[in-house]
Amino acid sequence: MAEIDKIDRKILSILQGDGRIANVELAERIGLSPTSVGERLKRLQRDGFVEGYGARLNPHRLGLGLLVFVEVLLDKTTPDVFERFAKAVQTAPEVLECHMVAGGFDYLVKARVANMTAYRRFLGETLLALPGVRETRTYAVMEEVKRDAPLPVG
């Protein structure tokens, strides 16, 4: 059920780079018939290797020019801080990722906003408004050296 061979990996790799490739062309590149590739892909989806497909949008083109990372420290004396913080983060559209980390702080938040003005608003009205947030450290991204690389499949 969780077996995955070299052909499967190749399918995943190609699909990760071009999620809209026609099954016919994918089959050509793999060296199998379209039907076989289709069956493999169906299995890969059923078994949870492929979670979905999405268009990759250009954030700058959409007016989201500023990428920031925020380290968040919570006040552990407040009850339910973690649950409440996690829930609030889900509903904030600016937050693209949020991870609980081991180390000097509690959460690492990745967010995209239009500019510094928008960020100040987001920080004040969303992040700092949450109860239990003790401290935040903001790191504004000056240059995106590597962005959303594909997972190493092969």
Where does this chain bind DNA (CB under 7 A)? 3, 7, 22-25, 32-36, 38-40, 43
> Which residue, among 24, 22, 20, 26, has the nearest Cα to 8 in the 3D structure?
26
Residues 19 and 44: their CA atoms lie apart, in Å, by 14
Token pair listed for 86: 């996690």
Stretch that binds a second copy, among 28-36, 54-62, 73-81, 120-128 (CB under 8 A): 54-62
Assess 30 for contact with a second copy (CB under 8 A). no
The DSSP H or E segment spanning 66 is: strand 66-74
The DSSP H or E segment spanning 16 is: helix 6-17
Residue 84 binding result from DNA, a second copy, none, given CB thresholds of 5 to 8 Å by partner type: none
Smaller CB distance to DNA: residue 6 or 146?
6
Residue 64 binding result from DNA, a second copy, none, given CB thresholds of 5 to 8 Å by partner type: a second copy
Count of residues touching a second copy (by CB under 8 A): 62
Tell me the residue type at 47. Answer: D
